[in-house]
A and B are shown apart, each in its own frame.
Chain A
Amino acid sequence: MKILSPLDSAAEVDQLVDAGAGEFYCGLLDERWHERYPVISMNRRPAGKGHFRTFADLSEAVQRAHDRGAPVYFTLNEHYYSAAQYDLLWQYIDEAIGAGVDAFIVSDFGLIAALQARGCRVPLHCSTGTTVFNRRSIGFFRGLGVVNITLPRHLSVEELRSLSAHAHGIGLTVFILNSRCINVDGFCTFQHGLAGREIPPMYRNACMLPFRVSAFRMQEPEAPQALPPDSCQVRRQKLWERVHVDDHPCGACALLDLHAMDIGSVKIVGRGNPTERKQKDVRFISGLLEDIHTGDGSRERFLQRAREQYAQVYNRSCRPFMCYYPELL
């Protein structure tokens, strides 16, 4: 099982490989795109941190990664691209190929079709944006020649086990750390980063904004009955104001199960994180993978070790609402 690490500069390649990263994913946004589309990304990350700025930088990063035996995947994973964007998109695709990237991470079925129509030979990985929740979806994308699928976040360990049993001839990637989106990423039509940080209501994730919540009982649709504002139904709807999706969510306890399922890669989110944070994340996961390889196979001991390591590395205890796989807690 490899650790798929975020990458946004050539300078951090060696540090992350030394920490245990086996493969990288990255994106690029430069002025050509930003001028035309100031609030729209090419790769699901708003403008700002987390992007390579030039293909020269990317090329250097790819070379360094290849020297260390690690492939680099380039994100073209926006949910849809319009026809008008393709002239610029092809420039980026051609330059990414020139930089030596090992795969494109894609989400838009139109882009998959366009790449194949063009005879593009760069392997394709499905982003979580392709919303593969079942065995037939795996087969559908395998039939399109996709070689890897990043599964959605909202799957349980047992659901992953069911999917992995049908993943013949295609690699599977599973999220393991950070950014546990509350909505299904691939279906969410909210747009992040519509302004800079200086305008928080436009910058922040829409799902986590504070809302005034009104609750209605709908026994008679034409005459809904309002519930009191302090009802538990209302309090539950304000959950996402109390829980931040980036407060170190973690799925490390599932590593033993994921390893047994032959999951190919575990993905750490955080292209925009500082290198030190990326290193910490990679080291945390690689340490536990090492435990799996050298340990006695005891599930109980592994789970205990994972929780102890999480507490030690991130200085916080495991919390069910930050757990990718709360059924394991």
Chain B
Amino acid sequence: MTVAAIRGADGIDLMEQALYITRSQQLDYLRDDFSRLYFGAEFCERLIPAVDEALRVAAFAHERGLGLTLMTPYVTDEGLDRLDRLFGAVCSAGMQLEAVFNDWGVLDLLRAEYPDVVPVMGRLLNKTKRGPRIMNIIDKLPPECRDYFESCVLSAAPACDFLKQRSVSRVEFDNQLQGVRLDRTDPVIKKSLYVPYVFVSTTRFCLAAGCDDPACVDYVGVGPCERQCREYVFQLDNPVMCVPLLRRGNVMFYVNGRLPDNLAGSRFDRIVVQPEIPV
């Protein structure tokens, strides 16, 4: 589904529209309907942008009156230190910022050192079941079981309170095939919907790293990397999966460009458009 088709969907004009890019070269996808820019690395600390690139993107957003959301991955101590430097630089430039965290340690960093940055809980921490095999049986499951697959952690009030106590008032969602019911979630917590790439799984044992070296074909581990993830995409097909899986770098996705039927009444107030697989 193209960016244009997503942006032409019914009800989308009532939502904030954000463009999600991982490299400054992708700014070419920007169109007038977008009021926010998402930028950064969501899945791999090796792809955390350099400070100068982040500052360029931030300046671009600022000049055009776009909101800016920095994307961050799960991180080791090394990645945490890189994010600290990144936030330090972007915040010193006086930018109003959101940051998507997919790591509780990053939330801790934000609250301790960058309290003016608005934290947003990312889709990796919003742990619904997204494996496509579910769709083979979902219509045959007992209603409680189906309800579980269509639910999320926010259906539980203590989870919402937990987030609100930590100044988290937005959570990111994938456009999973089975849909997601938001009717029982706390309306104070806002929800974003990512289209069309749905996150399924991630690893530190990246199969893109070193993939063009025959000597690395059977290597299992966290190996050296030359960002082959930026060069290759792999499609994985198996009859039991109702949609192809896409592997890019250390992440597995599938595509679901079909938006919820009643987008305007869906309780999503922001749509995050991924023009390319976000790696």
Q: Which residues of A from 108 to 128 have beta carbons under 8 Å from B?
A: 108-114, 117
Question: How many chain B residues touch A (Cβ–Cβ < 8 Å)?
Answer: 78
The answer to whether B238 and A210 touch across the interface, beta carbons within 8 angstroms, is yes
Cα(A307)–Cα(B265), bound, Å: 61
Q: Which residues of A contact B199 (CB under 8 A)?
A: 189
The answer to whether B232 and A217 touch across the interface, beta carbons within 8 angstroms, is yes
A182 CB–B CB distance under 8 Å: yes
Task: Please tell me which one of the listed residues A130, A154, A216, A232 contacts residue B233 in the complex, with CB atoms under 8 A apart.
Answer: A216
A181 (CB) vs chain B CBs: closest residue: B203
Cα(A106)–Cα(B89), bound, Å: 36
Contact status of A224 and B233, CB under 8 A, knowing A135-B77, A187-B124, A201-B238: yes
Q: How large is the interface on A (under 10, 10 to 19, 20 to 34, 35 or more residues)?
A: 35 or more
The answer to whether A184 and B148 touch across the interface, beta carbons within 8 angstroms, is no
The answer to whether A243 and B220 touch across the interface, beta carbons within 8 angstroms, is yes
Interface 0/1 of A224-239, CB less than 8 Å to B: 1001000011111101
Cα(A213)–Cα(B245), bound, Å: 10
The answer to whether A188 and B212 touch across the interface, beta carbons within 8 angstroms, is no
B124 (CB) vs chain A CBs: closest residue: A187
Interface 0/1 of B186-224, CB less than 8 Å to A: 000000000000011111110100111110111111100
Flag the segment in A36-44, A94-102, A170-178, A310-318 that touches B: A36-44
Flag the segment in B47-55, B60-68, B104-112, B255-263 that touches A: B104-112
The answer to whether B202 and A184 touch across the interface, beta carbons within 8 angstroms, is yes
Contact status of A136 and B76, CB under 8 A, knowing A84-B148, A109-B159, A206-B133: no
Flag the segment in B11-19, B31-39, B90-98, B135-143 that touches A: B135-143
The answer to whether B217 and A216 touch across the interface, beta carbons within 8 angstroms, is no
Task: Please tell me which one of the listed residues B201, B234, B236 contacts residue A189 in the complex, with CB atoms under 8 A apart.
Answer: B201
Contact status of A83 and B155, CB under 8 A, knowing A137-B104, A213-B236: yes
Q: Which residues of B contact A39 (CB under 8 A)?
A: 137, 141, 145
Cα(A187)–Cα(B235), bound, Å: 20
Q: Which residues of A contact B137 (CB under 8 A)?
A: 39, 194-195, 202
Contact status of A239 and B218, CB under 8 A, knowing A36-B142, A233-B232: yes
The answer to whether A184 and B203 touch across the interface, beta carbons within 8 angstroms, is yes
A294 CB–B CB distance under 8 Å: no
Cα(A194)–Cα(B133), bound, Å: 8
The answer to whether B148 and A162 touch across the interface, beta carbons within 8 angstroms, is no
Q: Which residues of A contact B155 (CB under 8 A)?
A: 82-84
Cα(A187)–Cα(B252), bound, Å: 11
The answer to whether B103 and A133 touch across the interface, beta carbons within 8 angstroms, is yes
Q: Which residues of A contact B201 (CB under 8 A)?
A: 183-184, 187-190, 207
Cα(A111)–Cα(B156), bound, Å: 9
B220 (CB) vs chain A CBs: closest residue: A321
Task: Please tell me which one of the listed residues A154, A216, A242 contacts residue B218 in the complex, with CB atoms under 8 A apart.
Answer: A242
B56 CB–A CB distance under 8 Å: no
The answer to whether B217 and A189 touch across the interface, beta carbons within 8 angstroms, is no
Q: Which residues of B contact A36 (CB under 8 A)?
A: 142, 144-145
Cα(A206)–Cα(B202), bound, Å: 13
Cα(A84)–Cα(B204), bound, Å: 34
Distance of A73 from chain B, by nearest CB (Å): 21
Task: Please tell me which one of the listed residues B74, B106, B151, B235 contacts residue A184 in the complex, with CB atoms under 8 A apart.
Answer: B74
The answer to whether B234 and A237 touch across the interface, beta carbons within 8 angstroms, is yes
The answer to whether B109 and A321 touch across the interface, beta carbons within 8 angstroms, is no
A169 CB–B CB distance under 8 Å: no
Listed in ascending order, the chain B residues whose CB lies under 8 Å from chain A are 74-77, 79-80, 103-109, 124-125, 127-131, 133-134, 136-137, 141-142, 144-145, 147-149, 151-153, 155-159, 161-162, 184, 199-205, 207, 210-214, 216-222, 230-241, 245, 247, 252, 276
Closest 8 CB pairs of A and B: A110-B159, A136-B105, A137-B105, A82-B151, A201-B240, A154-B204, A113-B158, A211-B236
